[in-house]
Every structure is written in C-alpha cells, then in structure tokens.
Amino acid sequence: MKIVVLFHSLYGHVYQMAEAVAEGARQEPGADVRLLRVPEILPDAVLEKMHALEARRMFEHIPVATPADLEGADAVIFGTGTRFGNATASMRAFIDQLGAMWARDSLVGVVGSVFTSSGTQHGGQESTLLTMHVSLLHLGMVVVGLPYSEARQKTMDAIEGGSPYGASTITGGDGSRRPSENELAMARSQGRLVAQVAGGLTHRQALAS
C-alpha cells in the first residue's frame, strides 16, 4: 500500500505536521509511506526577505516531488499553509501539473486528504482545507477528513487547530508558535485513518478482481 505525504512549507510548521501525518500512516500494517515536498516557486531573493531560507534547512533533505511520484499511489495526503483562505501558490502550481493524470483517470479512487496551518485561529484553516477538497474531488479522489471520533479537536481549554476537514496548526502572527502535541497527535490520527481507508479500499479491489 503506497501512501504519499506531499507538503509545502515555508517556516517548518507544515513540515512538522507532515512528519506526524507520515508517522501515523506508518502505524498501519503494510503502509509504505513516502514524504515529499512540492517545488518552491518563490525565488530565493524573495524567500530571504520573508526570512524563510533559514527554516528551509529543516526540511531540505526531503526529496522534491514530481507528478510521476503520485503514480500508483493508494493515498495522497496534502499539506499546505494558508494563503488568503486557500492553498499556497507552490501547492496550487503542483496541482495544476496533474492535468495529464486527470485525463488518464490516474487518481480516480485514490484516497486524498489535506492538513494545513494558519497564522491565527480564524486565519482560513477550514476554507483552505475545503477548497483543496474541491480539487481532489475533480481528480476523482476519495476524500477523508478528521472525524469527531478524534476527540482532541474538541479541546476547549487551549487554542488548538483541527477540524472535521483535517488536522491543522496555528503558527501565530510571527510564526513563533510551533505545533502543539495535541495538534501533532491529530495529524498522526489523520495519517493512520487515511492508511486504514486506503487499505480497506485496496483489499476490496483485490477481492473484486
């Protein structure tokens, strides 16, 4: 069972969540999990002004993905920051390259899921997850969120990310807040659920054939 965790991160928050998602997916027997990052479309000169080059060292060892890396996947879990209520330009650019796979129905029936980050509690987390879901549905993917059986998203005694649409973390306006253990646990839970759903679908397809 091939699972791809594909992320775009500027300051490392989404990368940390991606590692947790991958860890959760690996808990499911038979899961072959690969962690990849999308190509960065912003030039280094811009990233330097955004103070993002230093953070990139945290995850520059992660291989850069191409659409071919999604071929044959049983599940793809997308991680992206929030930009004006939507995914980052780099993530959107990668999805725009999936047209050939869409034309071949390559992702039809593949499990898709999304996690995100935002600067504030109401900074577009849910709209980013939902707008990403629209793209996954166009590709024919089977969308999996983070159901309320993951009770950590009901936390009321602290500011936390998380919604039924997917795991998320809140970075703070200056990016100083790192994913909490609660948020990382939700990310692990989402990764494992995606692996379980993908495994169930793979098993049914094998029986049908």
- 87-138 pLDDT, tens per residue? 999 999 999 999 999 999 999 999 999 999 999 988 999 999 999 999 999 9
The fraction of the chain above a pLDDT of 90, given in percent, is: 83
Which residues in the chain belong to E strands, given as ranges? 2-7, 32-37, 75-83, 86-87, 111-118, 142-143, 168-170
What is the arithmetic mean of pLDDT over 54-61? 91
pLDDT at 173 over 90: no
What pLDDT sits at residue 94? Answer: 98
Beta bridge partners of 86: 83
What pLDDT sits at residue 205? Answer: 72
For residue 131, give its domain range: 2-208
Q: What is the CATH number of the domain that holds 166?
A: 3.40.50.360
Number of domains within the chain: 1
Please, what is the average pLDDT of the chain? 94
Query: Measured between alpha carbons, how far is 160 from 154 in angstroms, rounded to an integer?
Result: 9
What pLDDT sits at residue 155? Answer: 85
What is the arithmetic mean of pLDDT over 167-174? 92
Closest listed residue to residue 22, CA positions, set 207, 190, 203: 190
Q: Which pLDDT band, with edges at 50, 70 and 90, does 208 fall under?
A: low
Q: Going by C-beta distance under 8 Å and a sequence separation of 6 or more, which residues neighbour residue 142? A: 109, 110, 111, 112, 197, 201
- 130-159 pLDDT, tens per residue? 999 999 999 999 999 999 999 998 888 888
On the CB side of 86, CA atoms within 13 Å amount to: 11
pLDDT at 86 over 70: yes
What pLDDT sits at residue 108? Answer: 97
Hey, what's the torsion of the CAs at 84, 128, 175, 19, to 10 degrees? -150
> Considering just the CA atoms, what is the radius of gyration of the chain in Å?
16
Q: Which pLDDT band, with edges at 50, 70 and 90, does 55 fall under?
A: confident
What pLDDT sits at residue 209? Answer: 61
Contact 110, 195 (CB under 8 A): no
Residue 190 in tokens: 């989402």
What pLDDT sits at residue 202? Answer: 76
Query: Measured between alpha carbons, how far is 138 from 124 in angstroms, rounded to an integer?
Result: 22
What pLDDT sits at residue 51? Answer: 87
